[in-house]
Amino acid sequence: MSPDYVLEARNVSKHFTVRGSLGRSAVVQAVQDATVRLKPGQILALVGESGSGKTTLARLLARFYEPTSGEIALRGEPVAGGGRAARRAYHSDVQLIFQDPFGSLNPLHRVRYNLDRALKLHHPSLDGDARLRRATALLERVSLTPAADYLDKFPHELSGGQRQRVVIARALAVEPKVLLGDEPISMLDVSIRLEMLNLLEKLRAEDGLALLYITHDIASARYLCDDIAVMYAGQMVESGPKEEVIAAPQHPYTKLLIESSPDPERAAGDRDELFEGADELGEPPSLIDPPAGCRFHPRCPFAMTQCRSEAPPVTGLGDGHWARCWLHQHGRAGELARTTHAAAMARRAPQEVAT
């Protein structure tokens, strides 16, 4: 509601219908009741495992498809439907960076063509010379210098990192207010990831761009972001300032995610200890037939009877931090900090057999 937010997804859901060979159809609940808010100049990380609906949410925000329910709001104004002109207006504020820099540039077009088309479509008043100057400036902004060398290159003459810079330059050509990064560094060499993160940080600092940074890499999220939102099986389970979420996760899934991510400071022995006794950390559920109640309960070492039948409410924990877990409603939140996920899992195993 508040115009403080430049881009919002309000309780959006996206269901896909898949048809089987025999005419049977099933509904995949890719995103369920998710809310994301971005302020100008804010970097929000959306983390979760593969198949948790991160990319679907990003594509909803990029308006590749319309949400099944809920709405997308730009500067507080709900957007829906509309013709090509309305879409272009929307996309002059919101641009998406794809995961794969090798796939998001047409191999048959030079760098110059990509930037020129973007400028021509969004700044029709510029003439050829002005567009060339603008394209050169854009390449310089993404540190592709000397820009003249890059203008006439084909994508296959560039490295992955250079291509991703071209993709970012093309997105910046429309002068957006929001960039949606769909795992923008996951396909890049580890050695240039940091440069890309620094570039994104620079864009935020200089232009006040809002950035939704989608990743499954907690370390890069921690490096770049202000806030973290965690998705599991199409739902948002926890969100808050990054240090709080990472240091003291308030949802069992967040805890699992953080403990599973490699940490160079953790020695090999510690790792064995951390995951001892827990062979099975479980797999994400089917989104065609998601578990009743809390979607995480089949994998959750803290699950109670209530978790199996009732979806947990949102519990606010102050300072914009919230989690969707019954533990908070039952005063058991302290247990999260006292144990590790694997240890809790190992402890639960005998009980499972008993019941």
Partner 1 sequence: MRTEFLRSWKVRTGLGGILFFVLLAVLGPWLVDALLGVDPRANDTSAIAQPPSGEHLLGTNQFGEDVLAQTIAGARGSMFVGFLGAAVGTVMAILVGVPAGYFGGRVDAALNFVTNIFLVMPVLPLILIVAGYLQGTGLWVIALIIGLFGWSGGARTLRAQSLSLSGRDFVRAMQMLGERGHRLVFAEVLPHLTGIIASMFLHAMIGAVLAEAGLAFLGISDASAISWGTMIQSAQTQSAVLRGLWWWFIPPGLCIALIGTAAALVNFGVDELANPKLRTARRKTVRRTAAALEKTGSQA
What does the binding site for partner 1 look like in residue numbers (CB under 8 A)? 62, 64, 84, 87-88, 91-92, 95-96, 98, 100, 103-109, 117-118, 121-122, 167, 170, 174
- List the one residue out of 9, 4, 38, 2 whose CA is nearest residue 178: 38
Place of tokens 């709001």: 73
Minimum distance, C-beta of residue 121 to partner 1, in the bound complex (Å)? 5
User: Could you tell me whether strands 7-19 and 94-97 are parallel, antiparallel, or unpaired per DSSP bridges?
Assistant: unpaired
Task: Please identify, using beta-carbon distances, which residue of 163 and 324 lies nearer to partner 1.
Answer: 163
Q: What's the distance, CA 154 to chain centroid?
A: 29
| Residues 43, 76 contacting (CB under 8 angstroms) | no
Place of tokens 């009741």: 33
Minimum distance, C-beta of residue 96 to partner 1, in the bound complex (Å)? 6
CA distance linking residue 307 with residue 336, whole number of Å = 16
Task: Please identify, using beta-carbon distances, which residue of 63 and 297 lies nearer to partner 1.
Answer: 63
Task: Please identify, using beta-carbon distances, which residue of 62 and 224 lies nearer to partner 1.
Answer: 62
Task: Please identify, using beta-carbon distances, which residue of 22 and 108 lies nearer to partner 1.
Answer: 108
First-to-last C-alpha distance (Å) of the chain: 47
Minimum distance, C-beta of residue 150 to partner 1, in the bound complex (Å)? 18
Task: Please identify, using beta-carbon distances, which residue of 32 and 95 lies nearer to partner 1.
Answer: 95
Residue 174, burial from CB neighbour count under 10 angstroms (0-12, 13-18, 19+): middle
Minimum distance, C-beta of residue 97 to partner 1, in the bound complex (Å)? 9
- For the chain, the 3-state helix, strand and coil shares in percent, each to the nearest 5, are 40, 20, 40
- Cβ–Cβ contacts within 10 Å for residue 69, how many? 11
Minimum distance, C-beta of residue 316 to partner 1, in the bound complex (Å)? 35
Minimum distance, C-beta of residue 111 to partner 1, in the bound complex (Å)? 13
- Crossing angle of helices 128-141 and 111-122, rounded to 10°: 120
- List the one residue out of 172, 170, 174, 157 whose CA is nearest residue 206: 172
Task: Please identify, using beta-carbon distances, which residue of 200 and 246 lies nearer to partner 1.
Answer: 200
Task: Please identify, using beta-carbon distances, which residue of 167 and 211 lies nearer to partner 1.
Answer: 167
Minimum distance, C-beta of residue 216 to partner 1, in the bound complex (Å)? 19
